[in-house]
Amino acid sequence: MRERVEDVLRGREAWVVGGAIRDELLGRPIVDLDVACREPEIAARAYARGGGGAPFPLSDRWGAWRVALDGGRTVDFTLLRGSIEDDLATRDFTVNAIAEALGGGERIDPFRGRRDLESRTLRAVSSGIFEDDPLRLLRAVRLEDELGFRMDPDTERLVREHAERVAQPAGERILAELERLSAAGYRRLDELGLLAPLGGKIEEGLDRADTPDLRLVAVLGENLERLPISNGLRRFVRTLLAAQPPADGSPRAIHRFRRATEPWSLEALRFLGDDEHVEAVRRARVEEPAEPLVRGDELGLSPGPLIGAILSEIEEERAAGAITTREEALELARRRAGAAGDR
């Protein structure tokens, strides 16, 4: 990424800043590149033309443009209005306020970010960072969580003082930070007073949540739908919150549970804290027949909800072992259709 940026901005003033320098000094993989330059839109479009990716404006306030690359990598071009020292003074934390000229050279570190990297300390560049951008409240916890850092006392005090601002940023930005938190990160949010304003609370299920989506549901519950989540995640949330554990380990009970919760039956069991029926659900998945005994257009009935109800009953009776053949399925369908006609 950096070589391509150097080609695009050769001969112009440009600086690599922020997380890329931090991660390089920490020996971590560099996934995102942040470049401060005089004409970010022109640079972003030129980068995309020659190196692929999709350029789009990231922030009108900061004059930033992003190029999204494959594999989740990004290159951000931000507007350098004054000197690089002026730019670094607007950054969030000292470990992100280190710059290096794009062509190489001595790093600029006016806030002693390297010292804080060595001590694994997260320190605010200024007392106004959370007023400038309240998303930094979540980012502070996320960086602690990801990097194994700890805020210095003054920065932690600022976080607590501005905690009521945490819900102000756009929902997409909030969600992106929350998705990267571990269970310990959510507990840290709660400790700092940042979780309640988002509608979250720490529940026992957080310890069982082993994916980002499960953690989101465990902590935010139905309040997760206040954020701009995808339709898939919305269905996941509603399925888990409505889930009830299987009544027992019988094939019929397992079938009913799976019918209500698939394709997230195992996640639902984990959310419910039900370890007893995990193997039964896994076994039912493996043993599930590849083809139905009958299809709806083979029942000889007019289209309507009755067909779906009959097919569901056939599936359940088959799962329970009560019927095994096509003829038995059609006989059950005739009885149910007849009973429905008598009403």
pLDDT, one tens digit per residue, over 176-198 is 999 999 999 999 999 999 999 99
> Taking a C-beta distance cutoff of 8 angstroms, is the pair 319, 262 a contact?
no
| pTM for the full predicted model | 0.88
Which 3 state secondary structure label does DSSP give 175?
A: helix
**Do 51 and 125 share a structural domain?**
no
The string of pLDDT tens digits covering residues 286-330 is 999 999 999 989 888 888 899 999 999 999 999 999 999 999 999
CA 56 distance to own-chain centroid: 21
* CA pair distance 228, 235, nearest whole angstrom: 13
Clarify whether residues 224 and 277 are in a common domain.
no
Q: Are residues 237 and 252 in the same domain?
A: no
Domain boundary among 78, 94, 112: 112
Residues 106 and 75 in one domain: yes
Q: How many domains, in total, are found in the chain?
A: 4
Q: Are residues 172 and 283 in the same domain?
A: no
pLDDT per residue as tens digits for the range 45-65: 999 987 778 899 987 777 899
Q: How far is CA 269 from CA 47, 109, 162, 203, in A?
A: 47, 50, 38, 16
Q: Which domain holds residue 99?
A: 1-112
Do residues 107 and 181 share a domain?
no
Note whether 262 and 232 are same-domain residues: no
Report the C-alpha gap between 246 and 47 in whole angstroms: 55
Residues 201 and 281 in one domain: no
Q: What is the pLDDT of residue 341?
A: 63
Over range 67-88, report the average pLDDT: 91
Spatial distance between the Cα atoms of 183 and 238, rounded to a whole number of angstroms? 21
CATH code for the domain in which residue 70 is found:
3.30.460.10
